[in-house]
Structure 1
Amino acid sequence: MKELISKATELAEILKKQEKVLIVSHIDADGITSASIAKKALEDFGIEAKVKFVKQLQKFEIEKIKDENEFVWFTDLGSGQLSNLKDLEFIITDHHFPEGKHERQLNPHDFGMDGSIDMSGAVATLIVANRLSCDERLAELAIVGSVGDLQDSRFGKLVGFNRKLLQFLNGTLVEIQKDVRFFGKQTRPIAKMLEYSIDPIIPGLTGDEASCVRFLSSLGIDPWVRWIDISREEKRRVVSAIVRHCISFGLGYDEIKRIAGECYILLRNPEGCEKRDAMEFSTLLNATARYGEAEIGMAVCFGDEKAFSRARTLLQNHRRNLANGLRTVEEIGIRELKNIQYFHAGKEIKDTIIGIIAGMCLARNPKKPIVAFAESENGIKVSARATYKLVDSGLNLGKAIKASAEAVGGSGGGHSVAAGALIPYGSEEKFLKILDETIGIQIQKSTLSMSSPP
C-alpha cells in the first residue's frame, strides 16, 4: 500500500508542473468516469484540461495524440501500449494487464493486485486525482466506474482496493444493499424491468411483456409499480419465483447467480433516478460512449441536466440494440472449435457493443471462452469473454488475444477474463486458429502443473 500511495504522489507531482493536460480515455463507463475524475481534479488545481476518447489506443490514434504536442494523462488505457508511447510526455492510470512496468504508470498489476477485480481505471485515476482535489464526488464516480467495468461480477460484490474505497464511503455517500441486479429497479415498472432483462436472459420472460405481466400477477404483485416501491417480502417472493422459473428452464448456476448480489446506492441522487444506482448509472454512461457521445456521459458526471436527458434517449436506443444483437446471434449461430466458441456479426452488430453481447452469450455456454467479431472502420473488432472458472483453469484471455492479434498484424490485450483486439480484414480464420491453439496450451500447462508431484 505504501508503494502505491508513493507512486500516486509521484505522478500527482508531475501533473502539478503542467499548465495544460490532454486526457486520453476509453469509450466505456470506466473510461468516462476516469476522464471525468481526471478533468475535475486538474481544473480544481488550476490546470487546463481537455479530453479525447478513443475506442482503442491503436498506432494511428497515438500519432494523432503526438500531433497535439501536449502532456498526456492516459486513463483506463495505455498500459498495454507502453512501447508505442516513447515519444510522448505522459502518465498512465490504468488497470489492464501491462506490457511492463513504467516509472510513470500506476497500475494495480504492478502492486500485486488483479486489475479485473481489485481496481478499475477510475479507482486508479482517483488515487492520483485525490492529490489534486478534495471533491468527494470523484470517489462516487470511481465506484460507478468499477461497477461499469463489472469488477463486482466474480463475487457478486466489489473486492480488493474497490472494497476499501466502498467501505470508506459506505453510510455517507454510498449505501450497500443486497438486491436484484436488473436494470430498471429505480425507474421502470417491474414488468418492463423483467421484459428488458438481458443479463441474464430469463427464458419465457425476456422480450415478452404479456408473460411478465402474467408472471407477476400470479404472485400477487402489481406489474406496473417500480421495484423500489414494493416491500421486502414482495421482493423475496419475486426473486424466489424467478429462480424457480430459471431452474425449470434449465439455466445453470453461473446464470442464476447473476440475478442478485450487492447493489450500490449513491445517496446524493434522488430515488427513481438512473443516477441513484451505480449499475444503472454505469449503464447510462455506457450508452453514451458506445454511440460516439462519450462527452455527453462526461457532462452527466458533472451534473448537466440537458446531457442527462440526451443520455436517457441514448440508453433506450442502447437497450433496443442489445436485444436486437442477441436475436442476430441466434440467427447466425455460435460455432465451436476445440477450445473456444465464436460468432461473426459482420456489420449486423455495432463494433462498440459487440463485447457486451459476447458477454451475454457466454452465460448460455460458459464452458469455453467466447470470441466475437464485428466489422469496424479500421479493421475487424475482436471481443473475447470468459468465466473466472476458466481463468482458474489457466486461461488468460488478455495474453492470448494480444499474442494472436500481433501474429496476424493486429494489436490487442486486456484482462484474463475479458480482452479485445483490432485485426486486419480477412485475417479472422488465421486468428482463430492461433487463438484456439494458444488457449489450449494455456489450459494444458495449468493442468500439467496441477497434476505434477510437489
Structure 2
Amino acid sequence: MAGPIPELEGRATRCARRLCEADRVLLASHIDADGLTSAAIAAQALERAGIPFETVFEKQLDEEAIAAIATTDYDTVCFTDFGSGQLDIIGEHEDAGDFTPVVADHHQPADRETEYHLNPLLFGIDGASELSGAGASYVLARALADISEPEVATDGGTASATARADNRDLAALAVVGAVGDMQASGGKLEGANEEIVEEGVEAGVLETGKDLTLYGKQTRPLPKLLEYATDVHIPGISNDQAGALQFLEDLDLELKRDGEWRRWSGLTNEEKRTVASALVKRAVSRGVPAKKIDNLVGTAYVLSEEPVGTELRDASEFSTLLNATARYERADVGLGVCLGNREGALERARTLLRNHRRNLSAGIDLVTREGVTHEEHIQWFHAGDRIRETIVGIVAGMAMGNDGVSRSKPIVAFAEKSDESEDGGEDVELKVSARGTHALVRNGLDLSVVMGEASRAVGGDGGGHDVAAGATVPKGRESEFLEHADEIAGEQLT
C-alpha cells in the first residue's frame, strides 16, 4: 500500500520495520499542539501494531533530557516533533549503545545522520510549510500499518474498518498538528499536507471547504466571533463590542434562539453568506486593503466525527485547546483528548484553555504597554518571569502589528526558564523565542539560522523553523546574543 508522500515512503518503511523489531518503545515528543498530535498518532499506530510503549514529553530536547532518556532501560526510542536538531547529541548516545533512535521530525537537522531518520527536509519538502511533525508521524503510522499484522478483535474478526486498518483515520490529528504549527497561515495547507488532507477526507474523518478564517466559528457566540476577529482588522467591528453587536443587529437574520446568540457553526449556508457578504462590504467601505480582505476567506478543516459546536470540530480550535495543556505541564491531558477521552481530559483541557487565554491576553497587554526595543533589523522585549517561557513565543507573534510592534522586523522575546537548577538555585539560562512573518521569510529571513548561530555564539543552543524558532542562552549575555542575531538577520534581509 502506497504511503501518502511517495518521497518519504522508503525511509518511513525502514523506520517502521525498526519499530516492529523492538520489544518495546519509549515514545518521546514535544509539548505543543504539533508535538501532542505527533505523539497521539504514533501512540495509536504503535498500539495497533501491537508494540508496547511508554510516552514521555519534553519542553526542550536538550543534552540533559537526552541523557535522562539514555538512562532508561529502553533499547529503542521514537522521537516525534523533535530529534532532528539534536541528532549530534542523540548520535553520541547511539554510538555508546544506549539506545537506537527512530526520529519522525520536520525541524532543521543537525550535522549528523542516523539510519532511522524520517524528515521531509531530507527529501526536498519544506518542514516549515509543507509537512509538520504530526505529518511526519502520520507518514510513519501509515508505514507501520502497512507492514504490521492487523489487530484481532475479540469476536475473531479484524479490529475495525479500513480507515483504522490503514491508519488513515489518524489524518485528522495530523491536520490539527499542521494547523497548530501555523502551516495554514496562507489560507490553506499546502504541499505534502494536502496529500494527508485528501486521505482524511477519503477516510471520512475530515471535511474541507471555503469559509471565514475567523477563529472560534464552532464555540464563540456571533458577537464575540466578530469582536475578537483581529487578524483582518475591520474598523467598527474588530475590538469593538458595541460595533460588532450593531453590525449583527442590522442584518435581517435570526441571530438569537431561546435568548442565546447563535454560533457560526449553527448558521445555514445562506445565513453564512449573508454575514460574510456584509463583512466584506464593511471592510471595503472602511478602506481595508483588498489583499487583507481576501484573507477573510480560506479553507476550513472540520473533523467530521467530532460534535458540532465543540472545540474538537475545528482544527484551529482543537490545536489551541492542545496548546493550553502541555504548556502548563499537563501534556497528559492534551494526549488524553487526542486519544479520545471526552470526559475528564476534555473538561480539564477546557479549564486550562480559559487560563491560557487570560495569560495570553495579559502577556500581549504587557508587551503593548511596555513596548519593544528596536534594533536595526530585529525588535525585542524581555519578559523576565512575567510571561511563562512556554507561551512567550505565542505572545510575541500575536503582539506583532500592535502599537509600536512592527510586522516588518522579526521579534525576539526573552523569558526566565521555570525549571530550577539541581542545586535548588535559579536556572542560569534564559528561554528565547523568535517570530517572523511569511513575508519576511520570502525576503530571506531564516530564524532557525538566526537563533541557532546567535545562541551558540554565546554558549547556548537553538533552532527551529524559518518563521519561528527558539533557543536557550546564558543569563547576562542577552546583549551579545542580540548583536549576533541583529547582524545575521540583517545579512539575510539585505
TM-score normalised by L of structure 2: 0.84
Aligned-partner SS, 2:143: coil
1:64/1:160 CA distance change after superposition, 3 Å: same
**1:208 Cα deviation (Å)?**
4.9
**1:374 Cα deviation (Å)?**
1.5
Aligned-partner SS, 2:380: strand
Matched residues in 1 for 2:280 and 2:477: separation?
A: 42
Matched residues in 2 for 1:105 and 1:325: separation?
A: 37
Corresponding residue of 1:67:
71
Sequence identity (%): 47
Aligned-partner SS, 1:36: helix
Corresponding residue of 1:269:
306
Code of the residue aligned with 2:79 in structure 1: it is F
**1:340 Cα deviation (Å)?**
0.9
Corresponding residue of 1:17:
21
Corresponding residue of 1:310:
348
Corresponding residue of 2:190:
159
Matched residues in 1 for 2:227 and 2:480: separation?
A: 39
Corresponding residue of 1:141:
173
**1:52-451 correspondence to structure 2 within 5 Å:** 52-70=56-74, 71-85=76-90, 86-88=92-94, 89-100=100-111, 101-133=113-145, 134-154=166-186, 156-170=187-201, 172-197=204-229, 199=231, 205=237, 208-220=240-252, 222=255, 224-243=261-280, 258-305=295-342, 306-364=344-402, 365-377=406-418, 378=427, 379-444=429-494
- The total of aligned residue pairs comes to 443
Matched residues in 2 for 1:323 and 1:246: separation?
A: 25
Code of the residue aligned with 2:332 in structure 1: it is E
Aligned-partner SS, 1:421: strand
Corresponding residue of 1:447:
none
Aligned-partner SS, 1:356: helix
Code of the residue aligned with 1:53 in structure 2: it is F
Contact 2:382 2:414 in 1 (8 A): yes
Contact 2:180 2:316 in 1 (8 A): yes
Matched residues in 1 for 2:290 and 2:103: separation?
A: 38
Matched residues in 1 for 2:36 and 2:339: separation?
A: 11
Contact 2:141 2:167 in 1 (8 A): no
Residue by residue over 1:306-348, the C-alpha shift from the partner in whole angstroms, topping out at 9 and shown as x without a partner, is 2111111111221222122111111110221111111222222
Q: Give the CA RMSD over aligned residues.
A: 2.2
1:354/1:247 CA distance change after superposition, 3 Å: farther
Code of the residue aligned with 1:87 in structure 2: it is H
Matched residues in 2 for 1:53 and 1:308: separation?
A: 19
Contact 2:171 2:199 in 1 (8 A): no
Matched residues in 2 for 1:138 and 1:48: separation?
A: 19
- Pick from 8, 11, 15 the counterpart of residue 7 of structure 1: 11
- Pick from 45, 50, 53 the counterpart of residue 46 of structure 1: 50
Matched residues in 1 for 2:243 and 2:293: separation?
A: 19
Code of the residue aligned with 1:164 in structure 2: it is E
Matched residues in 2 for 1:353 and 1:249: separation?
A: 34
Q: Which has the larger radius of gyration?
A: 2
1:435/1:284 CA distance change after superposition, 3 Å: same
1:258/1:380 CA distance change after superposition, 3 Å: farther
**1:107 Cα deviation (Å)?**
0.6
TM-score normalised by L of structure 1: 0.91
Contact 1:393 1:443 in 2 (8 A): yes
Contact 1:200 1:258 in 2 (8 A): yes
Aligned-partner SS, 1:41: helix
Corresponding residue of 2:152:
none
Aligned-partner SS, 1:352: coil
Aligned-partner SS, 1:87: helix
Code of the residue aligned with 2:122 in structure 1: it is D
1:202/1:343 CA distance change after superposition, 3 Å: farther
**1:102 Cα deviation (Å)?**
3.3
1:259/1:208 CA distance change after superposition, 3 Å: same
1:425/1:248 CA distance change after superposition, 3 Å: farther
Matched residues in 2 for 1:250 and 1:373: separation?
A: 36
Code of the residue aligned with 1:41 in structure 2: it is A
Matched residues in 2 for 1:326 and 1:257: separation?
A: 26
1:395/1:299 CA distance change after superposition, 3 Å: same
Aligned-partner SS, 2:209: strand
Contact 2:169 2:200 in 1 (8 A): no
Matched residues in 2 for 1:376 and 1:253: separation?
A: 42
1:231/1:112 CA distance change after superposition, 3 Å: same
Give ranges in structure 1 of 5+ residues lacking alignment: 445-454
Contact 1:200 1:360 in 2 (8 A): no
Code of the residue aligned with 2:105 in structure 1: it is D
Aligned-partner SS, 2:340: coil
1:147/1:429 CA distance change after superposition, 3 Å: same
**1:126 Cα deviation (Å)?**
1.2
Give ranges in structure 2 of 5+ residues lacking alignment: 95-99, 146-165, 419-426
**1:141 Cα deviation (Å)?**
0.9
